Structures are given as structure tokens and as C-alpha cells.
Structure 1
């Protein structure tokens, strides 16, 4: 086959450092989601949905065939960190956690993940980030060590 073809959809999740509620202001939060979507787009990492609450974000993206998950996350975090410090001076202490979670998404499940991300505010009235991430890790059969997940 002469061409390199791929359809790699990912559900990315990462939180603010120590899950601090840096994105409590709804305007800043929605702008951050838009900025993350724009950064993803600039990386040819097609954003299908971006959302979250005051202490973490979820992105549903189509990863380009030339980029690793780690590189995509690094650029999303780095560029959004620069943006928030330039545009929202009261958040000068803002930073993302060191790690992240990335889950593969089948084409048949894209709409369900999109809906899940769109309903984050409602979802987090019932459960916190730690319980949500534990459930996602279990659902995707990912082994983890509690000592190192919550930086």
C-alpha cells in the first residue's frame, strides 16, 4: 500500500495541577476549551469535542498519523498554559498536572464520548474527578498506581 492511512480517535483527559479549580470562572473555562480546540486544530489533531469543569478537561480528537499521543498532549498543555498566563493575569499560578490519560475511541462510540464530554458539568454534580478517572481507567482496563496518578 503506497499511502499511510489512519483513523485514530482518542479521548484525552488531564487536570490542573493538584486539581486546583483554576477554571472555576465559566467564561475562562469556555475560552480555555476553545483555545484547546484551536491548538489541536493547529496540530492537525482534529478536535471533535472539548469540555470539562473547573479542575480538568476532556478532549475527543482525531490524532494525525504523524503525531504521538505524548507530543499532542505536550503541545496542548504547553500552548494553553502560555495562553492562560498571557490572557488571564489572575491565573499566573496556573499549570496542568504532569500526567494525562488517553483512551482509544472506536468510530461507533464517537457520539457517546462526545455526549459524555458535553455533559461534564452535570456529571460532576454527582461524582468527582478522582472517581471519574478511576471509572475510565477500569472501563479501559488500564492498570494504575494511586500513588502516582494525583499530582
Structure 2
């Protein structure tokens, strides 16, 4: 075999700067296709995108040769920096940007459908659950230790 290969599904979650509720449905409709283009340029596929006014969920499929692989950190950085600049320059000069951090969670092939459904129903989900409670639950479910003092900075 000439190389090593990987097929990775990653559920990426991040909020707007200071969790400000500025990501309107109109902006989400504009930015998700733009994010899909960013992911495509990195040899990936945006499987699903969803969110509410203060955060987004992305299901990204990276199918890459490992020696050319874009790391999850690189992928998140490219998505956030490029989409933030694009939103500010083209659609809303009040746009402050995305939060500094993000959450990234591996998704098995057998769970892709469930995660897609979860991302599609974010508005209904957040009628009952805050972003903070949701994010804590994701961290806990994936056995990621965290300190409340730093998680919302």
C-alpha cells in the first residue's frame, strides 16, 4: 500500500464571541454553505450544519491520506477564522467573531445518522436546554475533564 488513509467524522461545536445571540437564521443560511466550501478545500465534506443564535454544530467528514492530513485543530481554526472574516466583511459589520475555543468529538460511522438528526433539531433542543448545559453534557459523554472556571472564558 502506498500510503495510510483515514476516514474521520468529527462533531465540532463552538459559540459566537461572548455567546452573543447574533447568528440569526439568515446568517446561518449564508455561513453554512461558506463553511462547506472551507471544509471542501481541506479535502473534507460538511455532512451537517446547524445551530442557534449563539453557537453552531458541524459534522465534518475528513477522508484523507494521513501524510497530508489536516488536523482537527487546523480544520476548526480555518473554519472559524475564514467564516468570521467573511461574515464581518460581507454580511454584518457588527460580527465580533467566534469564541476562542471549540469542542471536537469523534463520531463512529454507525452514529452519523443520529448526530445529523441531533444537529438538525438544535432549535427544538435549545427550547429546553442551554448551550452551557448541552456543552457540559457533550464533554461528560466523551469523558473529557473540564474546569468550569476556564470553560466559558
- Give TM-score, length-normalised by structure 1: 0.93
Provide structure 1 residue ranges, at least 5 long, that are not aligned to the other structure.
none
Which structure has the highest strand share of the two?
Answer: 2
Deviations 1:15-41 (A, max 9, x none): 111100110x21112212222122111
Runs of 4+ in 1 over 6 A off after TM superposition: none
Pairwise CA distance, 1:2: 2.5
Give CA-to-partner distance per residue, 1:86-121, whole Å, 9 cap, x none: 112342x42111100000000000000000001101
Question: What pairs up with 1:1-150 in 2 under 5 angstroms?
Answer: 1-23=1-23, 25-63=24-62, 64=64, 65=66, 66-91=69-94, 93-150=95-152
Cα-Cα RMSD? 1.2
**Total equivalences in the alignment:** 149
Secondary structure of 1:112's aligned partner: helix
Q: Can you give the 5+ residue segments of structure 2 that lack an aligned partner in the other structure? A: none
Instruction: Say which SS state the counterpart of residue 11 (structure 1) adopts.
Output: strand
Report the TM-score, using the length of structure 2 for normalisation: 0.92
